[in-house]
Amino acid sequence: MKSSRVKGVFGVAALIAVILGCVMFPGYAADNSVVLSILLYLPGFFVLIGLFEAWVSRDFVVTHMGEKSGLKGSAYSFVMGCLIPGPLYLAFPLAGALLRKGISRFNIVLFIGAWSSFKVVEEIFELHFLGPRFLVLRVLLTVPFVIVVAFIVSKVCFDDK
Amino acid sequence: MLALIFNAVVLVVFLVCYFRDKDKSVHALRLSVRSFERIAPVFVVVILLLVFAQGLFSGDAVFAYVAGVSGLWGYLVAAFVGAIVHVPPFITFPIAGQFLASGVNPGYIAVLVTSLVMVHTFSIPIEVKELGLKFALVRNFLCLVFAIVIGVIMGVLY
């Protein structure tokens, strides 16, 4: 417990150093927008995770998104993944929090799949730059694969927990 | 911009919670700090990897490289390049649009876009920390394979 605390504080310090370094030496990275977007998203994300852990009851998550929530639970997970903005690597801490609250394994992989491929704000970009034909074809082709990935991963990858 | 709106929304949610139950919301903030501390050491590694991947290739260079390959080999190259390199979606789509308009095989573009958004090699440390090694490896591998399948079908249908 103590040593994990020390590691955490060290990690926070190192993170601040890395971000400062990126902001102060803009020449190295192709552009700094990525590091800046992490900087901007971090506070909102971790406050959200804290609020979720403190306010949302386990029962609520289990009934609406748990093993027995059926199609409706999967639909909730999918839509939630589409709506929350932010890069994929910030979805994992949120997914971890959801999993500890009792969301089903299938739904959590579906959530991550939707998050990565069908983010509403990104789809507007795709529609604008790649056109409706590309967008519709890609979405129609990707949805079944996201479901298959969710099925396989939820069956195979959780034996350690 | 989107990040600022997101933060504003979270702030509003927090304030609503705060007025309803002060102690519970302060406790929530404590949980936020704890979960951040837990993931912070891994985050440092991921950000370093990310900055490294960004420093190596710009979005334009990635698409130009893939556009230069031809035949079935191009699908494989697009998938692996998309898996290793990181280009944020808001930069990916405008560049992808340019290359699509200039006549690059739409199949390659579909593979590259799918692989860029779904397969994140550099953030595997976070995925492993939160969801386990097996989860991270299998999910990324499956997405890589499916990116190629999706792209090949797109190449035929588009």
B98-109: pLDDT as tens digits: 999 998 899 999
What is the per-residue pLDDT across A74-133, written as a single tens digit (0 to 9) for each?
A: 999 999 999 988 888 889 999 999 999 989 999 999 999 999 999 888 899 899 999 999
Residues of chain B with pLDDT under 50: none
Supply the pLDDT for residue B135: 92
Rounded to the nearest angstrom, the minimum Cα separation between A70 and chain B is: 22
**A107 contacts: CB under 8 Å, gap ≥ 6:** A65, A69, A73, A74, A76, A77, A150
A99 touching B (Cβ < 8 Å): yes
ipTM, 2 decimals?
0.89
- Rounded Cα distance between B101 and B78, Å, is 18
Place of tokens 């501390």: B37
CB contact under 8 A, B25 and A112: no
CB atoms within 10 A of CB A45: 25
CB atoms within 10 A of CB B33: 14
User: B146 is written with which tokens?
Assistant: 């499916």
B127 touching A (Cβ < 8 Å): yes
Rounded to the nearest angstrom, the minimum Cα separation between B150 and chain A is: 6
Contacts of B59 in chain A (CB under 8 A): 30
> Is 90 exceeded by the pLDDT of residue A39?
no
Q: What are phi and psi of A103, to 5 degrees?
A: -70, 150
Q: Burial level of B123, CB count in 10 A (0-12/13-18/19+)?
A: buried
> Is 80 exceeded by the pLDDT of residue A1?
no
Contacts of B118 in chain A (CB under 8 A): 88, 113, 116-117
Which secondary structure element, helix H or strand E, spans residue B136, and what is its range?
Answer: helix B133-157
Q: How does DSSP classify residue B85?
A: S
Give Cα B57 to chain centroid, integer Å: 15
What percent of chain A is modeled with pLDDT above 70? 86
Outline where DSSP puts E strands in chain B.
none
Give Cα A118 to chain centroid, integer Å: 12
A40 touching B (Cβ < 8 Å): yes
Supply the pLDDT for residue B71: 83
Place of tokens 């390959």: B69
Facing residue for A54 by CB, picked from B24, B36, B129: B24
